[in-house]
Amino acid sequence: MGYALFGVDFAPHMVVYIISFAALLTGSITDLKTREVPDWVNYGLIFSGVLVNALLTFILPGQILVEEATYNNLAYSQYIISSQSYLIGSILGLAIFFGIAYIMFYAGQWGGGDSKILMGLGAMIGIGAGSIGRQFLTGFFINSLFVGAAYGLLWSFFLVFNHKKKFICEFKRILSADNVVKAKKLMLAALFFLLMSFFFIGAIYAKIAVLSFTFLILAAFYLWIFIKAVEKSCMQKLVEPAKLTEGDWIVNDVYAGRHYICGPKDLGISKSQIRKLIQLYRQRKVKKILIKEGVPFVPSFFIAYILTMITGNPLYGLL
């Protein structure tokens, strides 16, 4: 007999959470050390996820009685789920998280390793039975958005601390750029009219809303400058082609004569492009390649995973 606690079914299907935990821990360590996640971790999680859930489907009895622990000391509830949902849930989880990973990868927000390990989690944990409020993957995804935002900001501050002089110079350079100066003038004009309207509004809630919106515009503008300065000053470096790894983001288009080799539109360099660059570098036809180092994002997934294990799906209490 199985039971659920904090929105997680622990038995008999606890194995998928243990494997997912181990994969995220391994991926986090390698991502922090090398800025990449080994394919054996990513593809291993994807294929083993489908395989484990297929085994659960055929090994377990047709139906499983599940006891669900509820919040606020409420009574336990019981319901029946079919073991057939494991394989179906694994395929659905893989498909849904493939779609999310695809969008985030081609939007330039995640690297290939981040995207593939997310697909692996979808395949391993799957879309379980029960209400939306108790879906582990739903809670994990919601938590990963908030954890990822905080993690990315903290990582940016860490980079700034280690590259203070370069960051300050780049921040000032961006602020003095013509297009930024024009945008700043438009922003200040908008803020002026917002603050003027503050004195003509009687309702206190409306005043608070105007002040909040004013602060939001100001914060968003300087946060955008901050992020651009971090990318330019702290996240770019020149490397020899032999030190490139598949999926590295190339900052500028690279040509050998008039022949295009690689560039930012590729959304990650391929192994064949790396081999070509190594050959051209030895022939002194190309120089070192400027790449953008992404934030090692897998640790934020690991943190969100642990948070979801402890607190459950944020939607659970609402629904």
Per residue in 120-130, pLDDT tens?
A: 999 998 886 44
pLDDT score, position 75 = 41
| Most confident stretch, 60-64, 173-177, 294-298 | 173-177
Taking alpha carbons only, the member of 48, 125, 47 closest to residue 85 is 125
State yes or no: pLDDT of 11 exceeds 70. Answer: no
Residue 155 lies in a domain: no
Strands 2-5 and 63-68: parallel
Residue 68 maps to a domain: yes
Instruction: Note whether 175 and 190 are same-domain residues.
Output: yes
Distances (CA, A) of 4 to 142, 191, 271, 276, 289: 20, 51, 44, 53, 51
Integer CA distances (angstroms), 71 to 8, 111, 312, 317, in order? 13, 37, 10, 8
Helix (H, G, I), strand (E, B) or coil at 92: helix
pLDDT category, 23, cuts 50, 70, 90? very high
Residue 68 CA, chain-centre distance (Å), reads: 30
> Please, what is the Cα angle at 160 between 158 and 163, to 5 degrees?
115
Q: Which residue segment(s) compose the domain that 240 sits in? A: 236-292
31 and 103 housed in the same domain: yes
Q: Are residues 72 and 125 in the same domain?
A: yes
Q: What is the pTM assigned to this prediction?
A: 0.73
- Distance (Å) of CA 286 to CA 169, 237, 238: 29, 16, 12
- DSSP letter at 229? H
* pLDDT value at residue 73: 43
260 domain-assigned: yes
Residue 173: band (very low, low, confident or very high) from pLDDT cuts 50, 70, 90: very high
Write out pLDDT tens, residues 57-92: 877 655 444 444 444 444 434 444 444 577 888 888
Distance CA(34)–CA(44), nearest Å, equals: 19
For residues 223 and 303, membership in a common domain is answered with: no
Residue 32 has pLDDT above 70, yes or no: yes
Q: Indicate whether 265 belongs to any domain.
A: yes
128/57 same-domain check = yes
Structural domain includes residue 282: yes
Q: Which two tokens stand for residue 242?
A: 């032999």
- Tell me how far CA of residue 125 lies from CA of 2, 14, 89, 122, in angstroms: 16, 10, 8, 6
Residue type, position 109, single letter: Q
In-domain check, residue 156? no
Q: Which two tokens stand for residue 301?
A: 């997934």
Q: Are residues 135 and 217 in the same domain?
A: no
Q: How confident is the model at residue 251 (pLDDT cuts 50, 70, 90)?
A: confident
More confident residue, 11 or 285: 285
- Using CA atoms, how far apart are residues 274 and 254, in angstroms rounded to an integer? 12
What pLDDT, in 10s, does the model give residues 192-225?
A: 888 888 777 777 878 788 888 888 888 888 888 9
Share of the chain above pLDDT 70, in %: 82
Q: Is the pLDDT of residue 112 over 50?
A: yes
